[in-house]
Structure 1
Amino acid sequence: MKIKTALTLKYTGVIAVVFLLCMTLIYLVSEHIRSNTFFHNLKSEAVTKVHLFLQNQVDADIMQSIYLNNKEFINEVEVAVYTTDFHMLYHDAIDNDIVKENPEMIAQILQQKEIEFYIGKYQAVGMVYPFNGQTYIVTAAAYDGYGHTNLLELQKTLVILFFIGLLLLFITCYFLVRASLKPIREIVKEAETITASRIDQRLPVRNEKDELGELSQAFNELLERLEISFNSQKMFVSNVSHEMRTPLAALIAELDLCLQKDRTETQYRQAMQNVLQDARRMTKLIDGLLNLAKADYQKEQIKMHEIRLDELLLDTREIILRAHPEYHIELIFEQEDAEDDRMITIMGNDYL
């Protein structure tokens, strides 16, 4: 899976979770408001019916008839009135009896003055109602059909909005991630043009302070190290070609001389000693070239020891004159009588 797709899915998922939590919170808050509002309406309905009953403004039979008739069409409030000693004075529908009052409930209402509770899908309230110096216990219960219908519609709306919002979020995140990753695609295209023959090419750095600028700089530093390594490799091959030519030429020349005419045993022995000396020189040369190859990336593996520069120059002069007898080499030491050897002694590799 590409980073673009992975980031799009991650961002969409995170925002979708936040979106879902917000919608859930909206639903829960709406349910809480509906519940509190309906409890308030229950109390108002209960107080109205109790007031009419206790003032004898409406006959109990008529109130019960109205309740039973309305119940077929609307979610009518069922009200009951009790005395403090659990004597029922009025009940809208004793046969139905949603609340099912008992002495313990009456005692709880007397103690707390007012209670709110659920009975299945019904909401119910119980409260103390004082009237003309007397204390009455009133209960009321009903089902908030209108409120639950509105809540269900809200739930459907939130679900539809969630899926529509999720789709819009995915599309938006896709284009945002694509725009964010565009500089990376450009860096990739630039990097694909860099080859061994174009190792000196570098990636453009548009902004050194952002992460992509740091990435380009790090890649350019890597290319710098690779270029140095490639150049060192070329130099090493050149040095090998140059350094191996001289001892091989000496070997070939010595063997050609031996084959041109018969020689004495002493002459052959001398020739073999020269060949052996050149072979040892080649062995030493190979070791030196390997040390030269290590000089760029494994400096700690190069063998170092104390070297006197005057002795090194004399040995070098002898090697050169052996390969080129026609040369004239003169060494000049300005301080021949210097007693302090540290002046001409250094730490290094004598061959290199």
Structure 2
Amino acid sequence: MKIKYKIALYYTLSASLMLIAFAALAYYFSSKSRRAEYLERLEYRARSIANVIIEDGHVKVDLLRKLDRTTFQDLYKETILVYNPEYDLLYSNLKDTTIRTHRSLLDYIKQNKLYSNIKNSGEQVGVYYTEGDVSVIVIVSSFDKYGFQNLQNLRQILLIELITAVAILVGVGYFFARKMMQPIDKLVQQVDKINASNMLDTQVAVKGKDEIAMLGANFNTMLQRLGNSFDLQKSFVSNASHELRTPLAAIISQLQVSLSKERTKEEYQTLLISVLEDAENLSDLSNGLLQLAQSELNQEQFVFNNIRIDELLMDMANLIRLKQKTPGKVDIQFVKVPENELLVTCFGNESLLKVLFLNLVDNACKFSPDSSAHMSIDFFTQYITVQIKNQGPVIPSGEINKVFEPFYRGENAHQTRGHGLGLSICKKIVQIHNGHITVTSTVEEGTTFTVLLPHL
């Protein structure tokens, strides 16, 4: 079932139930009011009869008979019974009818002075009336013909009104539900036209400040993010394919040339060394792509522990020596000595942090003329600060904001082996740890990468 039909249905049901409840309450209170009013009328009737027939200390039933023959009886199907305190019937307006009144009822009236009851044939009221030394029991019963007719008319009117109101509610509910769903229908139509090719060029129309407008605005933001992700993915696949193709083509071409004729032992050694370099280049690229893919994962998918950053940096010299063929020189110093080890402890993933600093130190050593890198560690109120410096070629100011993009390599990096993945991996790892990474490059100071990581 469509939402607009659900809205119309729920609106009609809730409003109808409310109207039915109001109508039932109106009928109930009207019926209760009619009954109370008629019983009060019968009580007044009984007391009036008792007051009429007691005169000068005697019960004058003849006067009541005379009044009964004239205008005294004006209630529908009225029955009047008058008893003395000894329960002798003094008067009855019923003719040719056997009268039986239970003694228990008369006892009750005499004891409680007032009795009222509702029967199928109507309402009945009995009073014990005393004037001077004379007392009588008067029982009056009657059927409220006009009151029940009014209730029946009220019931019919309420029923007709309910049927009419429900019919109107169905129409009004559908009209408003359709009106409310029009923006969503338009949004669905616009979204249906969006595909991967026109994602960045298409946006849904946003009008107003309601929840649907907020949905449209958020959807446009999501489209922008998806479009950027698709472009980044296309660029990544294109660059990765190109970078993978180059070493593979070099290996294949060298092997094909070597197989074209017999070679000397020295020529084969030279060829194998060249192929080994291309294979190592291919291995570095594969590892870089794997690390970049891992760095794209969410923080929740990594195991985080308390990591001492100073101890992690102490291992960088040994790791660089194992990674590079030529020994690199790595210096590390503390700007100030921490009084508490928590000031240099970060809540993070040890493997990712090793990749982060290893890439930065490896870059510093590769671009430094003497294959050296200088590291310093400091701490502030919230962050641990690690700086990696080298005296290599200056990064041009126009390229300083692009060095963290995947596969981007500046003009000063063309003579150095690499694929442009290391710094982009570093940025992803820093973001996973809720930190920041920046780079500055000047002739006087060299190139400095600054990493800020929150400490405990």
Fold similarity call, TM over 0.5: yes
**Cα drift, residue 278 of structure 1:** 1.5
Q: Does structure 1 retain, via aligned residues, the 8 Å contact 2:49–2:138?
A: no
**Cα drift, residue 97 of structure 1:** 4.0
Q: 2:186 aligned with 1:88, yes or no?
A: no
Unaligned runs of 5+ in 2: 303-350, 372-412, 419-441, 452-456
Q: Relative to 1, partners in 2 of residues 1:61 and 1:85: Cα closer, same or farther, differing over 3 Å? A: same
Identify the residue that residue 217 of structure 1 maps to in structure 2.
Answer: 217
Q: 2:102 aligned with 1:4, yes or no?
A: no
Identify the residue that residue 327 of structure 1 maps to in structure 2.
Answer: none
- Normalising by structure 1, report the TM-score: 0.78
Equivalent-residue separation in structure 2 for 1:60 and 1:139 (angstroms)? 14
Equivalent-residue separation in structure 2 for 1:291 and 1:225 (angstroms)? 23
Q: Does structure 1 retain, via aligned residues, the 8 Å contact 2:203–2:220?
A: yes
Q: Count the aligned residue pairs.
A: 323
Residues 181-240 of structure 1 show CA distances to partners (whole Å, capped at 9, x for unaligned) of 1111122122222221111122232223x2112212221222122112101111102211
Q: How does 1:90-105 map to 2 (within 5 A)?
A: 90-93=91-94, 95=97, 97=99, 100-102=101-103, 104-105=104-105
Larger RCO of the pair (alpha carbons < 8 Å, separation 6+): 1
Residue identity over aligned pairs, in percent, reads 27
Equivalent-residue separation in structure 2 for 1:59 and 1:101 (angstroms)? 27
Equivalent-residue separation in structure 2 for 1:346 and 1:75 (angstroms)? 104
Identify the residue that residue 115 of structure 1 maps to in structure 2.
Answer: 115
Q: Relative to 1, partners in 2 of residues 1:298 and 1:161: Cα closer, same or farther, differing over 3 Å? A: closer
Q: Which amino acid aligns with 2:89?
A: M
Identify the residue that residue 325 of structure 1 maps to in structure 2.
Answer: none
Equivalent-residue separation in structure 1 for 2:98 and 2:356 (angstroms)? 108
Q: Which amino acid aligns with 1:144?
A: D
Q: Does structure 1 retain, via aligned residues, the 8 Å contact 2:127–2:139?
A: yes
**Cα drift, residue 105 of structure 1:** 3.0
**Cα drift, residue 169 of structure 1:** 1.0
Single out whichever of 74-83 and 105-114 deviates more from structure 2: 105-114
Q: 2:234 aligned with 1:234, yes or no?
A: yes
Q: Relative to 1, partners in 2 of residues 1:49 and 1:345: Cα closer, same or farther, differing over 3 Å? A: closer
Identify the residue that residue 304 of structure 1 maps to in structure 2.
Answer: 356
Residues 118-174 of structure 1 show CA distances to partners (whole Å, capped at 9, x for unaligned) of 233421111122346412121111222232232222222222221121111111111
- Secondary structure of the residue that 1:304 maps to in structure 2? helix
Q: Relative to 1, partners in 2 of residues 1:261 and 1:245: Cα closer, same or farther, differing over 3 Å? A: same
Q: Which amino acid aligns with 2:258?
A: C
Equivalent-residue separation in structure 1 for 2:25 and 2:99 (angstroms)? 35
Single out whichever of 302-311 and 83-92 deviates more from structure 2: 302-311
Equivalent-residue separation in structure 1 for 2:43 and 2:214 (angstroms)? 69
- Secondary structure of the residue that 2:417 maps to in structure 1? helix
Q: 2:76 aligned with 1:75, yes or no?
A: yes
Q: 2:180 aligned with 1:172, yes or no?
A: no
**Cα drift, residue 249 of structure 1:** 3.2
Equivalent-residue separation in structure 2 for 1:18 and 1:128 (angstroms)? 46
- Normalising by structure 2, report the TM-score: 0.62
Q: How does 1:1-352 map to 2 (within 5 A)?
A: 1-51=1-51, 53-54=53-54, 56=60, 58=62, 75-93=76-94, 95=97, 97=99, 100-102=101-103, 104-131=104-131, 133-200=133-200, 201-208=202-209, 210-296=210-296, 303-306=355-358, 307-313=361-367, 317=415, 319=417
Single out whichever of 294-303 and 21-30 deviates more from structure 2: 294-303
Give the superposed CA RMSD: 3.5
Equivalent-residue separation in structure 2 for 1:310 and 1:51 (angstroms)? 121
Equivalent-residue separation in structure 2 for 1:239 and 1:293 (angstroms)? 14
Equivalent-residue separation in structure 1 for 2:158 and 2:444 (angstroms)? 98
Equivalent-residue separation in structure 2 for 1:202 and 1:211 (angstroms)? 17
- Secondary structure of the residue that 1:130 maps to in structure 2? strand
Q: Which amino acid aligns with 1:77?
A: E
Identify the residue that residue 328 of structure 1 maps to in structure 2.
Answer: none
Q: Does structure 2 retain, via aligned residues, the 8 Å contact 1:232–1:296?
A: no
Equivalent-residue separation in structure 2 for 1:9 and 1:313 (angstroms)? 72
- Secondary structure of the residue that 1:16 maps to in structure 2? helix
Residues 257-290 of structure 1 show CA distances to partners (whole Å, capped at 9, x for unaligned) of 3134321133224323322332232232123234
Equivalent-residue separation in structure 2 for 1:198 and 1:130 (angstroms)? 100
- Secondary structure of the residue that 2:139 maps to in structure 1? strand
Q: Which amino acid aligns with 1:93?
A: L
- Secondary structure of the residue that 1:196 maps to in structure 2? coil
- Secondary structure of the residue that 1:20 maps to in structure 2? helix
Q: Does structure 2 retain, via aligned residues, the 8 Å contact 1:236–1:293?
A: no
Equivalent-residue separation in structure 2 for 1:136 and 1:270 (angstroms)? 141
Equivalent-residue separation in structure 2 for 1:76 and 1:245 (angstroms)? 111
Equivalent-residue separation in structure 2 for 1:137 and 1:57 (angstroms)? 13
Q: Does structure 2 retain, via aligned residues, the 8 Å contact 1:83–1:135?
A: yes
Q: Which amino acid aligns with 2:27?
A: Y
Equivalent-residue separation in structure 1 for 2:19 and 2:444 (angstroms)? 88
Q: Which amino acid aligns with 1:312?
A: K
- Secondary structure of the residue that 2:147 maps to in structure 1? helix
Single out whichever of 10-19 and 37-46 deviates more from structure 2: 37-46
- Secondary structure of the residue that 1:93 maps to in structure 2? coil
- Secondary structure of the residue that 2:197 maps to in structure 1? helix
Identify the residue that residue 340 of structure 2 maps to in structure 1.
Answer: none
Q: Which has more strand, going by share of residues?
A: 2
